[in-house]
Amino acid sequence: MSGPRSSAAPPLDDDDLLAEILLRLPPQPSSLPRASTVCKFWRSLASDPCFSRRFRAHHRRNPPLLGCLVHDFCQVRFQPTLERPNRVPLSSFPVPIAAGGRFRILGCRHGLVLILHDSQKQLLVWDPVTGDQHSLDIPRGFAEKTWIHAAVCRAPRDFHHFQVVLVGNSDIQSTQAVASVYLSVTGVWDNLVSTPLPPEDSGFPTMVYTGMPAVMVGGSFYWLLYGNSQGILEFDLDKRSLALIPIPVGNARDMSVGNIWVIPAEGSGLGFLFLRGFCAQLWKMKTDCKGVSSWVLGRSIDLNKLLSLNSEMEIGYPSIVGFAEGNNVVLLWMSAGVFMVQFESLQFKKLFESHEWCCFYPLEGVYTAGTDIGGGNDEAKLLHNT
């Protein structure tokens, strides 16, 4: 004899249980739109703004590479990289800067884009998916005649808040690097911290290199330095401290735009990528038993063989144009296009055509909009955009 029938709702009719199931769908743009077509109940949950925020927060550590913001010195456009049905429409993320405004994109991280608005002397934190914008005034203490740089990241335990780290030369002494941290939860900048820079040579100071966005490894940000001296500037978020690190390749003549980049080392720790023609050298910072840190060469990879280049590809060495932290992939530009390379697995993929060298900013995030995303007309009707 069977027992009494339970009055509990079927699993897929239970709001809480269904939410937990949908929360674990892959963080691809088509996941929630596809789930929403099952029935009205699933659609109501998949399109709920609160669930959308939970979905984005849940997948913050494994976001897909949606595409790149491409700055060709005349305009900024979004170039999608995913295949259909996950391909995000070209017109999805218009940069919120008025025409004629002077600005520089400083980098993308955790689905946020950081922009320096030169005309207004402000930083803009922009979430392309939600459209949220936060303008920050640049604090005092930074020299106006030298470059400044900055990085943004989500707060460690609060997806709704963010931090911005601003670095540059001191307005009092150009041979000092200074940094300050902005916390969105408080709305204020921390006190300046500083570290000495090499002395000036012929009146030319060492400055932060603007051609490479900051790279986050562990709990620290890293920028390249150029000018009188080359090196790496480290800002430790936990310790709120600045430090200088030498680069592993000592011949300054080997350094040029597009052939050096700070990356995470294979396994863990700080790494450095150096291109010499088609040879990619992967360096790693190691610390000995006495606590002394130094660079060691890990692997050298022949990109000519890895990418299976042939005569159809025009002559020219590859250049490093970006690094996507969430996917741990390097973007390389050649006359044949932009390639995505994962050096640990030695996997690669051609992302898109690009016959001219531009500035590329990988945009990683969870995009949860569009019922017909990836359609032939490259348009999408928004389910939600929160």
The string of DSSP codes covering 235-257 is EETTTTEEEEE--S---GGG--T
Neighbours of 287 (CB within 10 A): 10
Model confidence at 378: pLDDT above 50: no
Q: How far, in Å, CA of 62 to CA of 110, rounded?
A: 10
Banded model confidence at residue 255, pLDDT cuts 50, 70, 90: low
The average pLDDT across 307-311 equals 60
Residue 250 vs residue 87, higher pLDDT: 87
Banded model confidence at residue 69, pLDDT cuts 50, 70, 90: very high
How high is the pLDDT of residue 96?
Answer: 84
Model confidence at 259: pLDDT above 80: yes
**DSSP-derived 3-state class of residue 168:** strand
β-sheet bridge partners, residue 244: 233
β-pairing, 270-276 vs 241-245, is unpaired
Q: Quick one: which of 354, 314, 322 has its CA closest to 340?
A: 322
Mean pLDDT of the chain: 85
Q: Quick check: 125 and 134 in contact, CB under 8 A?
A: yes
CATH 1.10.760.10 correct for 95-246 = no
The tens digit of pLDDT for each residue in 70-100 reads 987 778 889 999 999 999 998 889 888 765 5
Model confidence at 379: pLDDT above 60: no
Banded model confidence at residue 203, pLDDT cuts 50, 70, 90: low
Model confidence at 348: pLDDT above 50: yes
The average pLDDT across 352-368 equals 87
Residue 158 vs residue 113, higher pLDDT: 113
Instruction: Give the rounded percent of residues in the chain with a pLDDT score beyond 90.
Output: 53
How high is the pLDDT of residue 314?
Answer: 53
Banded model confidence at residue 312, pLDDT cuts 50, 70, 90: very low
The tens digit of pLDDT for each residue in 142-178 reads 998 788 999 999 988 788 899 999 999 999 998 999 9
Burial code (b: 16+ CB inside 10 Å, e: under 16) for 35-52 equals bbeeeeebbebbbbeebb
**Cβ neighbours of residue 19 under 8 Å, at least 6 residues apart?**
45, 51, 54
Residue 228 vs residue 243, higher pLDDT: 243
How high is the pLDDT of residue 75?
Answer: 81
Q: How far, in Å, CA of 361 to CA of 120, rounded?
A: 22
The average pLDDT across 177-185 equals 97
Name the range with the highest mean pLDDT among 23-32, 308-317, 361-370.
Answer: 23-32
How high is the pLDDT of residue 98?
Answer: 65
How high is the pLDDT of residue 134?
Answer: 96
Task: Please state at what angle helix 15-23 crosses helix 49-58, rounded to 10 degrees.
Answer: 40
How high is the pLDDT of residue 92?
Answer: 87
Q: Quick check: 140 and 112 in contact, CB under 8 A?
A: no
Model confidence at 380: pLDDT above 70: no
The tens digit of pLDDT for each residue in 7-29 reads 555 555 667 888 899 999 999 99
Model confidence at 241: pLDDT above 90: yes
